[in-house]
């Protein structure tokens, strides 16, 4: 089997190695592997500590978790970590590893730096898209709903004052067209909100604080009358989960807080950690949630849906999607609230 791994290594553009646990040395390594780490192959073979020294310290806990999984399951895939190269650059790496024998491990290492840059672009694109959706909800759906109310009032007044029938025909036509526009907006929002639930979980390694900052930056642009704070004692928090779904959870929770917090109100995002999990709390000093709505708050098409303080439309889907996404990520979501004092939603997710 060793010879087969070596033949694969000579043909592969990715790094391939065989590591002897008992002797703490590499017994095989292809040239591509040494190139990925930007180190001489002979030194890497006999001094694996040089490789460990290049791994960013905040990734070491996660790699320890991956090694325990490898020992239990005899294999592990897509273990991501970052390297600090001698020139100061950071490379994102992914490793699949397998036990060949009791003390021998075969590993396949791939440079995923460009993949991560592409994913960051997608996350940033998604943030811009969701910001646009918020603008549609606030600046389009709200006024359209208000127009519907005005048209109903005009029709009632017209009927009471015996106006010409042609006037009522025109009012009906305007009302129908307005409702069609409103239906298009609402259907689009419903489709966008529920799309992610049908997509499988793809775990990647990322910094939670960076993701939250990216989310807030986009929301602050269109909600300058609110005060936002990111509160944490952590300098960074690198975890492994689905970054797109995590972004959507945070975006939905903060957007929900915005709807029910008055101008000059405060919205805080608090980030904490435990040895195995991390917790994100989205806290506001808004109007709170009435007791009669709390039991059905996470239901799909919930009766708890309410228009925002600025008449923002609610599809009744946002919090049910938050719960579903958090459960897909093997986490939990909870809330506490006090009428006219505000609400706090908390999600707890595993670090790996």
Report the CATH number at residue 67: 3.30.450.20
CA distance 24 to 193: 50
Count how many domains the chain has.
Answer: 2
Residue 225 lies in domain: 116-350
Q: Of 111, 130, 147, which marks where a domain is finished?
A: 111
Whether residue 60 is found in the same domain as residue 136: no
Q: What is the pLDDT of residue 316?
A: 47
Task: Copy the structure tokens of residue 328.
Answer: 């897909």
Whether residue 178 is found in the same domain as residue 68: no
Whether residue 122 is found in the same domain as residue 182: yes
Residue-by-residue DSSP string for 44-99: HHH-THHHHHHB-GGGHHHHHHHHHHHHHHSEEEEEEEEEE-TTS-EEEEEEEEEE
Whether residue 60 is found in the same domain as residue 147: no
CA distance 282 to 158: 48
The whole model's pTM is what?
0.63
Comparing C-alpha atoms, which of 244, 254, 196 is closest to residue 220?
A: 254
Whether residue 134 is found in the same domain as residue 26: no
**What residue ranges of the chain have pLDDT lower than 50?**
304, 309, 313, 315-316
Q: What are the pLDDT digits (tens) for 185-240?
A: 666 555 555 555 556 677 888 899 988 998 888 788 778 889 999 999 998 898 98
Q: What are the pLDDT digits (tens) for 294-309?
A: 788 877 655 545 555 4
Cβ distance 319 to 296 under 8 Å?
A: no
CA 184 to chain centre: 26
Bridge partner list, 238:
207
Task: Copy the structure tokens of residue 261.
Answer: 């917090």
Q: What is the pLDDT of residue 233?
A: 93
Q: Is the dihedral of CA 134, 140, 144, 146 positive or negative?
A: positive
330 torsion bin: left (phi>0), alpha (psi -120 to 50), beta (else): left
Whether residue 29 is found in the same domain as residue 98: yes
Whether residue 103 is found in the same domain as residue 236: no
Q: Of 79, 111, 143, which marks where a domain is finished?
A: 111
**CATH assignment at residue 219:** 3.30.565.10
Whether residue 229 is found in the same domain as residue 270: yes
Whether residue 98 is found in the same domain as residue 235: no
Whether residue 201 is found in the same domain as residue 345: yes
Task: Copy the structure tokens of residue 269.
Answer: 């995002």
Q: How many CB atoms lie within 10 A of CB 108?
A: 19
Cβ distance 120 to 208 under 8 Å?
A: no
Write phi, then psi, for 211 (nearest 5 degrees): -65, -45
Radius of gyration of the chain (CA): 27
Q: Of 111, 127, 147, which marks where a domain is finished?
A: 111
CA distance 312 to 131: 14
Whether residue 336 is found in the same domain as residue 268: yes
Q: How many CB atoms lie within 10 A of CB 217?
A: 13
Whether residue 84 is found in the same domain as residue 232: no
């Amino acid at each position: 089997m060793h010879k087969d791994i070596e033949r694969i290594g000579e043909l592969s553009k990715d790094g391939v190695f065989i590591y002897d646990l008992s002797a703490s040395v590499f017994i095989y390594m292809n040239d591509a592997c040494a190139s990925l780490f930007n180190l001489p192959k002979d030194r890497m073979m006999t001094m694996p500590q040089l490789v460990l020294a290049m791994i960013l310290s905040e990734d070491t806990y996660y790699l320890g978790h991956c090694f325990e999984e490898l020992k239990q399951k005899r294999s592990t895939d897509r273990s991501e970590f970052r390297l600090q190269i001698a020139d100061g650059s950071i490379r994102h790496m992914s490793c699949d590893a397998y036990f060949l024998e009791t003390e021998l491990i075969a590993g396949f290492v791939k440079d995923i730096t460009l993949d991560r840059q592409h994913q960051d672009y997608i996350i940033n694109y998604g943030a811009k898209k969701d910001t646009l959706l918020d603008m549609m909800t606030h600046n389009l759906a709200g006024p359209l709903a208000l127009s519907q109310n005005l048209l109903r009032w005009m029709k009632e007044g017209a009927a009471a004052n015996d106006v010409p029938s042609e006037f009522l025909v025109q009012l009906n036509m305007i009302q129908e067209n307005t409702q069609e526009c409103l239906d298009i907006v609402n259907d689009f929002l419903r489709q966008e909100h529920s799309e992610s639930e049908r997509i499988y979980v793809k775990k990647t390694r990322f910094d939670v604080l960076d993701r939250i900052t990216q989310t807030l930056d986009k929301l602050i642009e269109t909600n300058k009358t609110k005060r936002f704070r990111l509160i944490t004692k952590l300098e960074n928090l690198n975890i492994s989960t689905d970054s797109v779904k995590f972004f959507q959870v945070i975006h939905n929770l903060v957007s929900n807080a915005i709807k029910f917090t008055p101008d000059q109100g405060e919205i805080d995002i608090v980030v904490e950690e435990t040895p195995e999990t991390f917790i994100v709390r989205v806290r506001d000093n808004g109007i709170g949630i009435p007791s009669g709505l709390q039991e059905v708050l996470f239901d799909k098409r919930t009766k708890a849906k309410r228009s925002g303080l600025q008449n923002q439309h609610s599809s009744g889907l946002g919090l049910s999607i938050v719960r579903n996404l958090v459960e897909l990520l093997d986490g939990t979501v909870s809330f506490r609230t006090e009428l006219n004092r505000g609400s706090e939603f908390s999600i707890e997710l595993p670090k790996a």
